[in-house]
Amino acid sequence: MDSQRPLILISNDDGHLAKGINELVSFLRPMADIIVVAPDGPRSGMACAITSQLPVTVTPVSQTEGVAIYKCSGTPTDCIKLALETVVPRKPDLVIGGINHGDNSAVNVHYSGTMGVVLEGCMKGIPSIGFSVCDHDPDLDFSPTCPYVQQIVAKVLEKGLPEGSCLNVNFPQHAPYKGVKTGRQTRGRWGNEWASLPHPRGGGNLYWLTGNFANHEPEATDTDRFAIENGYISITPIQIDMTDYTLLEAMKSWEFK
């Protein structure tokens, strides 16, 4: 590792073998030294989950000039926590999650293991970015994302991010992209979330998570969903502080005995 170059810590929730993370490494290699600590298999939908009931391991996978790759038996969040205390030679300049297969806009930020990576980097005081593409094809051509990934990373290396905030970047399914739009988290709700199948041994059903997302503000033009649905790359700044300050103020009138 070259101490003169930026150091980027990368993880994801699709595992260290996913195409998206390996493409991301190749996009960022010209700009920085890179350490990957990623799950040893798929961890989609793991949110900010941490492994509290079992021990976790981290194992070297490969080491080439400026790129060290490790796999970890834990969650995406564990990967960042463990990397920062055991693997990195110094505090990374950035933490990046991705490139994720699947849409992390709107309320999906709460379920996303990719954003678990990013929120953890952010909670550790490191500028952090999540990249996702709204496409689940494991052989997806990620090359159209490259110039935008590089620009956004360069911008954050240059400007930094405020303490306690990070970026959630989502690419539409289809390139070419119309450009970049910043936007807020869309209000909306998942429904019809379970496909049921009879249990093969009888006695009840198995339920498989699925569902449809209903956008509750389809007319709004300042949201992450609007950007993605209209062919733009969406960037939403996300904060660690989840306090509802408006309600906090209103609750001053609540009385308890």
According to CB under 8 A, which residues from 116 to 145 bind its own copies?
Answer: 116, 119, 123-125
Alpha-carbon distance 183 to 225, whole Å?
8
Q: Are 245 and 191 in contact (CB under 8 A)?
A: no
Q: Are 105 and 170 in contact (CB under 8 A)?
A: yes
Total binding residues for its own copies by CB under 8 A? 81
User: Does residue number 214 form part of the binding site for its own copies (CB under 8 A)?
Assistant: no
Tokens standing for 39?
């799950």
Segment contacting its own copies (CB under 8 A): 16-24, 26-34, 43-51, 128-136? 43-51
Tell whether omega for the bond before 99 is within 30 degrees of 0, i.e. cis.
yes
To which H or E segment does residue 228 belong?
Answer: helix 224-229
Q: Give the one residue of 56, 61, 140, 157 binding its own copies; rule: CB under 8 A.
A: 56
User: Does residue number 251 form part of the binding site for its own copies (CB under 8 A)?
Assistant: yes
β-strands 233-239, 165-171 pairing: antiparallel
User: Does residue number 252 form part of the binding site for its own copies (CB under 8 A)?
Assistant: yes
Q: Give the one residue of 24, 109, 129, 133 binding its own copies; rule: CB under 8 A.
A: 109
User: Does residue number 175 form part of the binding site for its own copies (CB under 8 A)?
Assistant: no
Tokens standing for 117?
């990576």
To which H or E segment does residue 101 belong?
Answer: strand 94-101
Per-residue contact flags (x/-) with its own copies for residues 231 to 250, judged by CB under 8 A? ----xxxxxxxxxxxxxx--
CB of 43 to its own copies, least distance (A): 9
Cβ proximity to its own copies, 2 vs 151, nearer residue? 151
User: Does residue number 104 form part of the binding site for its own copies (CB under 8 A)?
Assistant: no
User: Does residue number 200 form part of the binding site for its own copies (CB under 8 A)?
Assistant: no
Segment contacting its own copies (CB under 8 A): 1-9, 14-22, 89-97, 184-192? 184-192
Cβ proximity to its own copies, 5 vs 211, nearer residue? 211
Tokens standing for 205?
């059903």
Which burial class, exposed, middle or buried, applies to 18 when counting CB atoms under 10 A from its CB (0-12, 13-18, 19+)? buried
